């Protein structure tokens, strides 16, 4: 029997059992290899490489997507700007049949060349001529004894008595006048110097009363009679109408206080507002025509006497004054009148009815009727205008037919069509009718049969107890197999 010891190989060892081949001395215990050997290390490096390649591809795809998405958004931004109003710089043509045109009141007119009479028309108000208004103001203090003109609006003539006034200053002036008159009579046979001095004193007394608005006839009466009167009378300085009265009988008045205002209405003013754009057509001395509702069918002629050099910043108008003769005082201050300023007539002007031109603020356009019936908008440049026609400086030719009325309705339809057309071109804004999905015939014929649907087995499941059926007829189970089935045996 040999004493040789046998070494049993380790079942966990995957290497060679021969110690000589593995470099291990024979008889030495074998070193167990790591369960995470070289095979796992190679597989890990492969996974890392694949992960790196995948991450690189993912990063490249992400960058490419971001770049292309930015370009698409930049291109689609103008199309998807829903917050902005649809542009109407180019309105679309409108198709309108004759019946629809008649129903909404659309009429047509032809652009023609002919004379056009232009005028500026405004509304003015009559006022009295401020240069013909006089104020009556006594030049002495006193008390009103009697009023001869005692209400506003009373017509007076020049020199007519207005009121009588008592004033101590006037009484004193009368006495001085009488003394100077006696002195001049007493020295009539005296020296030349004495007579000259007496004459100067008499002239001075007369002048003082005249300066206090005492009439010459009143002064002559005082000298002739030699009587000093308590009151003296003030007379109207001009002919006219009392427009203001600020005095009462018995009232004390002060020197310089206005008691009457008298206006001469033989000439009146008419003041109206002219727009800034029409100022170049109005000039001083230009003829103007007035029409008043109070005198239908009558006209008054006047002339421009004043143009205000300042434009009202609120209304953008300027006040223009027309002076008109007023025989018989038929024109009353405060009346309203229609003022017309005729402008030079032009003989050969291309014009259309005023209703054919539509001004939108940014554009001025007309709608041209084409031979096929389409109404096409066209921009035009306008000129002067009369009551019923307006000049077309450019954009239209003689003989073309334009829409003459209901232009606003046509423009609204044109803008709506243009807006809908612009929205139809937006991505995701399909303006057509939605397509209906086709339904299979079998489904349409048996819409209530659900037995063929997946996961919809209406029979009892295997191994379940039998289901008690309700045969009372309270429920209608068409298309469902209601025949009883034998119960299944759980032991199977």
Edge-first strand order for the sheet with 155-156 is 133-136, 260-263, 240-245, 155-156
For the stretch 212-234, pLDDT in tens is: 888 888 889 888 888 888 888 88
Which class is domain 94-116+347-422?
mainly beta
Query: Cα separation of 292 and 276, whole Å?
Result: 25
3-state secondary structure of 261: strand
For the stretch 466-479, pLDDT in tens is: 545 544 444 454 54
Two tokens, residue 480? 């469902």
Please list the residues that pair with 379 across neighbouring strands.
365
Answer for the pair 175, 228: CB distance below 8 angstroms, yes or no. Answer: yes
The CA-based diameter of the chain, rounded to the nearest angstrom, is: 212
Q: Rg of the Cα trace of the chain? A: 58
Inform me whether the pLDDT recorded for 483 exceeds 80.
no
Specify the higher pLDDT residue, 433 or 207. Answer: 207
Backbone angles phi, psi at 159, to 5 degrees: 90, -5
For the stretch 440-454, pLDDT in tens is: 444 444 444 555 555
Q: What pLDDT is recorded for position 434?
A: 47
Is 0.85 surpassed by the pTM of this model? Answer: no
Q: What pLDDT is recorded for position 55?
A: 81
Domain 267-344 fold: Elongation Factor Tu (Ef-tu); domain 3 (2.40.30)
Two tokens, residue 407? 């232009």
Burial (0-12, 13-18, 19+ Cβ within 10 Å), 143? middle
Answer for the pair 304, 336: CB distance below 8 angstroms, yes or no. Answer: no
For the stretch 1-14, pLDDT in tens is: 444 444 444 444 44
For the stretch 262-303, pLDDT in tens is: 999 999 999 999 999 888 889 999 999 999 999 998 999 999
Among 178, 184, 179, 182, smallest CA distance to 198 is for 184
Inform me whether the pLDDT recorded for 148 exceeds 70.
yes
> How many angstroms separate the Cα of 164 from the Cα of each of 82, 142, 178, 253?
85, 10, 21, 12
Domain ranges of the chain: 94-116+347-422, 138-257, 267-344
Q: What pLDDT is recorded for position 436?
A: 47
Query: Cα separation of 383 and 276, whole Å?
Result: 16
Two tokens, residue 371? 């031979």
Inform me whether the pLDDT recorded for 165 exceeds 60.
yes
3-state secondary structure of 29: coil
Inform me whether the pLDDT recorded for 196 exceeds 90.
no
**Residue 99: alpha-carbon gap to chain centroid:** 35
Query: Cα separation of 277 and 274, whole Å?
Result: 8
């Amino acid at each position: 029997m040999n004493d040789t010891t046998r070494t049993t190989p380790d079942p966990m060892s995957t290497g060679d059992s021969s110690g000589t081949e593995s470099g291990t001395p024979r008889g030495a215990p074998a070193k167990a290899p790591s369960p995470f050997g070289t095979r796992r290390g190679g597989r890990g490096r492969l996974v890392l490489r694949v992960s790196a390649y995948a991450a690189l591809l993912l990063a490249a795809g992400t960058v490419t997507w971001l770049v292309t998405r930015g370009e698409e958004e930049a291109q689609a931004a103008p199309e998807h700007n829903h917050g902005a109003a649809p542009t109407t710089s180019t309105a679309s043509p409108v198709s309108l049949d004759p019946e629809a045109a008649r129903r909404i009141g659309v009429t047509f007119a032809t652009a023609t060349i002919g004379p056009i009479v232009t005028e500026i028309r405004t509304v003015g108000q009559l006022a009295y001529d401020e240069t013909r208004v006089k104020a009556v103001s006594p030049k002495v203090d006193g008390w009103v004894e009697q009023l001869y003109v005692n209400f506003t609006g009373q017509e007076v003539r020049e020199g007519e008595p207005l009121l009588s006034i008592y004033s101590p200053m006037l009484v004193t002036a009368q006495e001085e006048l009488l003394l100077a008159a006696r002195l001049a009579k007493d020295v009539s046979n005296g020296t030349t110097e004495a007579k000259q001095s007496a004459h100067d004193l008499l002239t001075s007394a007369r002048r003082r009363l005249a300066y206090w608005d005492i009439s010459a006839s009143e002064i002559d009466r005082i000298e002739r009679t030699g009587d000093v009167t308590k009151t003296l009378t003030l007379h109207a300085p001009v002919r006219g109408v009392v427009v203001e009265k600020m005095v009462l009988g018995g009232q004390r008045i002060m020197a310089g206080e206005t008691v009457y205002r008298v206006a001469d209405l033989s000439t009146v003013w008419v003041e109206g507002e002219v727009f800034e754009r029409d100022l170049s057509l109005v000039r001083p001395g230009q003829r103007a025509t007035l029409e008043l509702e109070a005198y239908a069918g009558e006209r008054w002629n006047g002339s421009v006497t004043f143009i205000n050099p300042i434009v009202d910043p609120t209304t953008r108008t300027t006040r223009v004054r027309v002076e008109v003769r007023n025989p018989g005082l038929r024109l009353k201050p405060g009346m309203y009148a229609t003022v017309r300023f005729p402008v030079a007539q032009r003989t050969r002007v291309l014009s259309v009815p005023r209703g054919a031109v539509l001004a939108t603020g940014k554009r001025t356009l007309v709608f041209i009727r084409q031979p096929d019936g389409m109404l096409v908008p066209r921009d035009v440049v306008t000129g002067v205008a009369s009551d019923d026609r307006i000049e077309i400086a450019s954009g239209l030719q003689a003989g073309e037919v334009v829409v003459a009325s209901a232009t606003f309705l046509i423009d609204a339809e044109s803008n709506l069509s243009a807006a809908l057309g612009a929205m139809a071109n937006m991505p995701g804004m399909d303006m057509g009718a939605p397509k209906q999905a086709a339904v299979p015939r079998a489904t349409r014929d048996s819409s209530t049969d659900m037995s063929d649907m997946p996961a919809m087995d209406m029979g009892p499941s295997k191994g379940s107890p039998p289901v008690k059926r309700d045969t009372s007829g309270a429920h209608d189970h068409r298309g469902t197999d209601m025949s009883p089935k034998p119960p299944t045996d759980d032991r199977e």
